[in-house]
């Protein structure tokens, strides 16, 4: 790990973990370098990344202050919240899976109204392949392909961008999310129901079926 990466990680965990409070002044970069036993270049690089995440505010002529990330932060903070201390943060995970179920449910509602014939066929074929998947890795890849097609069929740019952010988190530690397809043969009918509802252009059923599937996966992960 690069020295700047380690400095960034330590400061990020301190900010997200509440060691540093919003509006609190951080030590100067020179003081941080001395405290952490690193050079100034490493601290400057770490601070630049903290600014990009909107975790700190650096104003000319003023001290570096901690930003209120709950107000200023975006989805790019999610991975840092979720994977603190090398594991999964339980509270953030619950919130992520809840938001995921809501987003996918509404995506399915839109997909039922807007999907192409090719997309409807792809969803049904993917659902069938999940039932026959030989292992968790294959099922996990098909699970992502299924939902990616749902969001693509929804034809909503913002939902697609949110999905991209979730994908980054998901595949960053795919091993930790393997349980979303735990016992995927039993989940297969839920995929099939959602795919059929979208193919039938039944918006209400598509939303409900997809939400049931996403909630079943959340329960397995919990």
The enclosing domain of 88 has a CATH number of 1.20.120.530
Instruction: Looking at the structure, tell me whether residues 214 and 104 fall in a common domain.
Output: yes
CATH classification at residue 46: 1.10.10.10
The mean of the pLDDT values for the chain is 91
* Average pLDDT over every residue of 145-162: 96
Instruction: Looking at the structure, tell me whether residues 152 and 42 fall in a common domain.
Output: no
Distance CA 26, CA 130 (A): 50
| Number of folded domains that form the chain | 2
Picking from 38, 53, 73, the residue at the C-terminal end of a domain is 73
* Average pLDDT over every residue of 13-31: 90
* pLDDT surpassing 60 at residue 116: yes
Distance CA 216, CA 214 (A): 5
Instruction: Between 212 and 174, name the one with better pLDDT.
Output: 212
* Average pLDDT over every residue of 57-79: 85
Query: Residue 143's pLDDT band (boundaries 50, 70, 90)?
Result: very high
| pLDDT given at position 194 | 98
Instruction: Looking at the structure, tell me whether residues 69 and 86 fall in a common domain.
Output: no
Residue 38: both structure tokens together: 């690193």
| pLDDT given at position 178 | 85
Contacts of 92 (CB under 8 A, 6+ apart): 78, 81, 82
* Average pLDDT over every residue of 47-73: 87
Burial of residue 85, with CB atoms counted within 10 A of its CB: 0-12 exposed, 13-18 middle, 19 or more buried: exposed
Q: pTM for the whole thing?
A: 0.85
Least confident of 82-96, 191-205, 208-222: 82-96
* pLDDT surpassing 70 at residue 86: no
Instruction: Looking at the structure, tell me whether residues 215 and 172 fall in a common domain.
Output: yes
| pLDDT given at position 55 | 94
Q: Which helix (H) or strand (E) holds 65?
A: strand 65-66
| pLDDT given at position 89 | 84
b/e sequence 54-69, b meaning 16+ C-beta within 10 Å: bbbbeeeeeebbbbeb
Instruction: Looking at the structure, tell me whether residues 107 and 23 fall in a common domain.
Output: no
State the residue range of the domain holding 88.
79-221
């Amino acid at each position: 790990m690069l020295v700047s990466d380690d400095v960034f990680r330590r400061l990020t965990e301190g900010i997200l973990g509440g060691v540093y409070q919003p509006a609190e002044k951080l030590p100067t970069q020179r003081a941080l370098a001395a405290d952490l036993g690193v050079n100034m270049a490493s601290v400057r690089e770490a601070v630049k990344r903290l600014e990009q995440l909107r975790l700190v505010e650096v104003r000319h002529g003023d001290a570096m202050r901690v930003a209120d990330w709950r107000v200023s932060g975006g989805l790019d903070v999610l991975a840092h919240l979720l994977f603190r201390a090398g594991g999964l943060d339980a509270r953030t995970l619950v919130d992520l899976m809840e938001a995921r179920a809501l987003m996918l449910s509404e995506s399915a509602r839109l997909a039922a109204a807007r999907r192409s014939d090719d997309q409807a066929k792809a969803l049904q074929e993917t659902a069938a392949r999940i039932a026959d998947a030989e292992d968790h890795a294959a099922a996990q890849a098909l699970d992502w392909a299924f939902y990616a097609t749902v969001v693509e069929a929804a034809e909503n740019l913002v939902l697609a961008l949110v999905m991209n952010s979730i994908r980054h988190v998901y595949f960053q530690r795919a091993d930790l999310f393997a349980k979303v397809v735990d016992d995927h043969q039993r989940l297969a009918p839920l995929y099939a129901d959602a795919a059929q509802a979208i193919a039938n252009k039944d918006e209400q059923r598509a939303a409900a079926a997809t939400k049931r599937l996403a909630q079943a996966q959340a329960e397995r992960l919990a």
